[in-house]
Structure 1
Amino acid sequence: MNTAVVLYTSDLRLHDHPPLRAALASCDRVVPLFVRDRAVERAGFAVPNRLAFLADCLADLDAGLRTRGGRLVLRSGEVVEEVCALVREAGAGEVHLAAGVSGYAQARERRLREALRAQGCALYTHEAVITAVAPGAVLPSGRGSDHFAVFTPYLRRWSELPPRRAAAAPRTVRVPEDIGSEEPPRRSAVTGTSPGLARGGECEARRLLTRWLSSGLARYEDTHDDLAADATSRLSPHLHFGTLSPVEAAQRARAAGGPGAEAFVRQLCWRDFHHQVLAARPEAATRDYRARDDRWRTGRDAEEEVQAWKDGRTGYPVVDAAMRQLRHEGWMHNRGRLLAAGFLAKTLYADWRTGARHFLDLLVDGDVANNQLNWQWVAGTGTDTRPNRVLNPVRQGLRHDPDGRYVHRWVPELAALPAPRVHEPWKLPAEERARYDYPEPLVDLTEAQARFREGRRGAS
């Protein structure tokens, strides 16, 4: 009997999984494989929150395979070496893989293809598994353009593309019995996780999607920026780990219809937009997409301000609330991300890479495409067409947390202060301020804005 290997990476599901479907159609037996990548650990991406969520995902994937007569094979080491070893062990003639977009993923696929070719084994990469639309599937009309650098025209072309239909999960997966596997990781064995970390796995992803479509989607357009309402889908960790297909999410949202569905699908497109940018410019993970020659602030004062930002002690309540939510849940409301990142990069004028690294240390949905390129967008070094805009955290708090409930939840020392005073506690009389264990603002907003604009003008 002929055998194929399916290498799982960021696609930890059974529903709508083109590599698995192709392998099952081509071969009698399939070995579903996940490699705990030592290179990922060395690069600092294997942080506690994502390791715990990953443990849930792998356990759920293995359980799903076992109900279909199969199982998940786990190995640890260098991906190329482990895949090649398993190909020899199983006598596999082909390997199937979801195409990645990061520089590391692209290099891994090249090395894997070369190594498998030397063994007489074919590698098949499948597009639009991690994204709804594959990077490069839509391109600008101009000659020589390999990606869209502006979102709105990308959205228009992306929306015109006929979507791939989501495939059902297979009924049966036959795995060779003599293939050994490591013990799966356990969430309980991971230390240092956020107390409010969500659970992972495809079953949980599908439950959340169904609940979201029935109870959250209709009001999404009106409430997605409401910090206290918590009215976003919270599906981003599942999209990152691939326990939910973005193709299926878009398909089911469109079927539900309405303005909320349009707004939600637009966010899926925004995710794809950054993936196609990174696929074309993998160096943007660490280098400015559009260099502004910024002279980011350094030195002891800057370091202390960055630490206060990380600790949620900037003196600006809505920023501090967002940073404390991040630490507690390993997740942050999208509007909170925008405000917290903008405050670091433009109000404190600290290097966006410092903030991006901190987010990656805690975010369960942290990935190179969305995290790094959203940070660049906020910092004005990415695809934002208004790179010098500066968001005022007080005005943003009043607008998106008008009742102060978001701040009250995450900054409990200010819970007794009603809105709008909770967004400007420094305006209280001195004797009243003394009753709250809350810091004075790190910087004056007017002075900080002038400093940023002067710094950027000087850099250019």
Structure 2
Amino acid sequence: MNVSVVLFTSDLRLHDHPPLRAALDGSREVVPLFVRDRAVDGAGFAAPNRLAFLADCLRDLDAGLRQRGGRLVLRSGDLVEEVCRVAGEAEADEVHLAADGSAYAQRREERLRHALEAEGVRLHVHGTVTTVVDPGVLAPGSSDHFAVFTPYFGHWSRQRLRDVLGAPRALRVPEGVGSEELPDRKGLSGLSPALAEGGETQGRARLTAWLRSGIPAYEDRHDDLAGDATSRLSPYLHFGALSPVELVHRARAAGGPGAEAFVRQVAWRDFHRQVLAARPGAALADYRTKHDRWRTERTAGEDVEAWREGRTGYPVVDAAMRQLLHEGWMHNRGRLLTASFLTKTLYVDWRIGARHFLDLLVDGDVANNQLNWQWMAGTGTDSRPNRVLNPVTQAKRYDPDGAYVRRWVPELAGLEGAAVHEPWRLRGLDRAAVDYPDPVVDLTDGLARFKRARGRD
């Protein structure tokens, strides 16, 4: 009996999984393997919220495999060494893996290929597992990647999607391949209190509910802060508990303006991945520098701490930052507002904000996170790099009656209507009765500082 190893990485599902289906061809035995890569942990990506969600995903994946006669094998250490060790134990002749365009994953894949070849084991890398269109597939004639989303989306939309693959009905795992105990979120500390539950089972249930009742209104309501009309599927996409290809197929089948707007957001995810694959340095350096002399932790420590804790004095900013602390997730409009406020109004280095988001976001994806931060900082792909989102104007537009602010900033719950967005305008006893800080900076002063820094005053 021939044996294959399927190395799961950020594709923790059984439905629409090309590497797994390819490994099962020819009635082969399969070792479903996940390696807790110590290099990833050492790089600072082992944030508690994502570790908890990962634990949920692994347990759910193992349960699904056991229902089909299999089990998940878990190892920890150097990924290349562990994959080779498992392949030897199972006497496997091939390993299947999902493609990943990140610079680290590319280097790791090359190491793995050489190590396996030395042992006579073939490595098969499968595309369109974690993306709809893989990085590098689409490029303009004058460059190795698209730097502007709109033309990228035009090409992306015309790509023919592969068919969605069903989950396997049964599989056999060879005996004698040992596994570590699966992790459990119960043993973790520092979690956001309302962190969502991970796993393919949860992800598919959310997707079905979203397609039934959420997507029709998505185009009109996705920026509604209080209505929370976004899909909340991003953590499941990040861990691969949902297939982006299946997601686009099913959204397009639902049809309508809401589905079209939602698919566009999925395309943004692919867009950022192709940018970072072509320019890996953009994870830490400006994609398009404006030669900013950003304020740092040393020069803006109090402002940064106020922003992190949700006490800047601007209610909608503070509400979004407190949602992040409590849920490990933030509404997309809140992400834009808080990033604009830190980088443009406080003129603080975007990397400080990006790091804080990665510390807490359960969907903390390097490509999306870093490049969205650069987009708001004006150092990324935005064609209007000097745009500034006014938090008061934005709050009145996207939280007109203040319901979002009152939910997350309860000390302002007694203020009626739009007054909740500008508590500093209260006078006398009314202001004294509200235990809420004054703004850390006047918006006019913040805008003037930014314009001076960018040479636009």
Q: After TM superposition, is the score higher than 0.5?
A: yes
- Match of residue 148 from structure 1: 146
AA at the equivalent of 2:17: H
List per-residue Cα deviations over 1:53-80 (Å, max 9, x = no partner): 1111000000000111111000010101
Match among 290, 293, 300 for residue 291 of structure 2: 293
Match among 280, 283, 286 for residue 281 of structure 2: 283
- Match of residue 118 from structure 1: 118
- Are residues 1:51 and 2:48 paired? no
Q: How much has 1:278 moved relative to structure 2? A: 1.0
**1:184-203 correspondence runs (5 A):** 184-203=182-201
- Match of residue 339 from structure 2: 341
Decide which moves more: 39-48 or 291-300. 291-300
- Match of residue 350 from structure 1: 348
- Match of residue 109 from structure 1: 109
Distance (Å, rounded) in 1 between the aligned partners of 2:168 and 2:153: 32
- Match of residue 394 from structure 2: 396
Distance (Å, rounded) in 2 between the aligned partners of 1:458 and 1:77: 51
Distance (Å, rounded) in 2 between the aligned partners of 1:300 and 1:330: 26
Contact 2:345 2:446 (C-alpha < 8 Å) held by counterparts? yes
Corresponding residue SS for 1:266: helix
Corresponding residue SS for 1:147: coil
AA at the equivalent of 1:103: A
- Match of residue 435 from structure 2: 437
AA at the equivalent of 2:124: Y
RMSD across aligned positions (CA):
1.2
AA at the equivalent of 1:401: D
Q: How much has 1:232 moved relative to structure 2? A: 0.3
Match among 160, 163, 182 for residue 162 of structure 1: 160
AA at the equivalent of 1:422: V
Decide which moves more: 219-228 or 98-107. 98-107
TM-score of the aligned structures, taking structure 2 as reference length: 0.98
Q: How much has 1:123 moved relative to structure 2? A: 1.0
Contact 1:290 1:382 (C-alpha < 8 Å) held by counterparts? yes
- Match of residue 131 from structure 1: 131
Distance (Å, rounded) in 1 between the aligned partners of 2:298 and 2:123: 51
Distance (Å, rounded) in 2 between the aligned partners of 1:243 and 1:419: 40
- Match of residue 418 from structure 1: 416
List per-residue Cα deviations over 1:114-157 (Å, max 9, x = no partner): 111111111111111111111122221x23x1111000001110
- Match of residue 369 from structure 1: 367
Q: How much has 1:178 moved relative to structure 2? A: 1.2
AA at the equivalent of 1:106: Q
Distance (Å, rounded) in 2 between the aligned partners of 1:155 and 1:252: 18
Distance (Å, rounded) in 1 between the aligned partners of 2:76 and 2:440: 45
- Match of residue 8 from structure 1: 8
Contact 2:89 2:176 (C-alpha < 8 Å) held by counterparts? no
Distance (Å, rounded) in 2 between the aligned partners of 1:443 and 1:430: 21
- Match of residue 269 from structure 1: 267
AA at the equivalent of 2:126: H
AA at the equivalent of 2:52: A
- Match of residue 39 from structure 1: 39
Q: How much has 1:26 moved relative to structure 2? A: 5.1
- Match of residue 95 from structure 1: 95
AA at the equivalent of 2:30: V
Distance (Å, rounded) in 2 between the aligned partners of 1:299 and 1:367: 23
- Match of residue 308 from structure 2: 310
- Match of residue 246 from structure 1: 244
Q: How much has 1:430 moved relative to structure 2? A: 3.2
List per-residue Cα deviations over 1:219-241 (Å, max 9, x = no partner): 00000000000000000000000
Unpaired runs of 5+ in structure 2? none
Distance (Å, rounded) in 2 between the aligned partners of 1:389 and 1:160: 31
Match among 222, 225, 232 for residue 224 of structure 1: 222
User: Structure 1: which 4+ aligned runs deviate by more than 4 Å?
Assistant: none
Contact 1:237 1:364 (C-alpha < 8 Å) held by counterparts? yes
List per-residue Cα deviations over 1:295-353 (Å, max 9, x = no partner): 00136551110010000000000000000000000000000000001101111111111
Contact 1:57 1:243 (C-alpha < 8 Å) held by counterparts? yes
- Match of residue 69 from structure 1: 69
- Match of residue 451 from structure 2: 453
Q: How much has 1:188 moved relative to structure 2? A: 0.8
List per-residue Cα deviations over 1:70-104 (Å, max 9, x = no partner): 11000010101111111111111111111112221
- Match of residue 174 from structure 1: 172
**1:197-216 correspondence runs (5 A):** 197-216=195-214
Identity percentage of aligned residues: 70
AA at the equivalent of 1:135: P
AA at the equivalent of 2:203: A
Corresponding residue SS for 1:443: coil
| Residue 458 to residue 82, structure 1, CA distance change in 2 (3 Å) | farther
Contact 1:302 1:350 (C-alpha < 8 Å) held by counterparts? yes
Q: How much has 1:440 moved relative to structure 2? A: 0.4
List per-residue Cα deviations over 1:265-320 (Å, max 9, x = no partner): 00000111101111111111111111111100136551110010000000000000
Contact 1:8 1:32 (C-alpha < 8 Å) held by counterparts? yes
Decide which moves more: 449-458 or 206-215. 449-458
AA at the equivalent of 1:16: D
Corresponding residue SS for 2:45: coil
TM-score of the aligned structures, taking structure 1 as reference length: 0.98
Q: How much has 1:431 moved relative to structure 2? A: 2.3
Corresponding residue SS for 2:454: helix
Distance (Å, rounded) in 2 between the aligned partners of 1:171 and 1:138: 35
Contact 1:5 1:23 (C-alpha < 8 Å) held by counterparts? yes
Q: How much has 1:419 moved relative to structure 2? A: 2.1
AA at the equivalent of 2:276: L
List per-residue Cα deviations over 1:353-395 (Å, max 9, x = no partner): 1000000000000011111111111111110000010110000
AA at the equivalent of 2:435: D
AA at the equivalent of 2:324: L
Decide which moves more: 89-98 or 6-15. 89-98
Decide which moves more: 109-118 or 224-233. 109-118
Distance (Å, rounded) in 2 between the aligned partners of 1:133 and 1:26: 28
Contact 1:4 1:27 (C-alpha < 8 Å) held by counterparts? no
| Residue 299 to residue 208, structure 1, CA distance change in 2 (3 Å) | closer
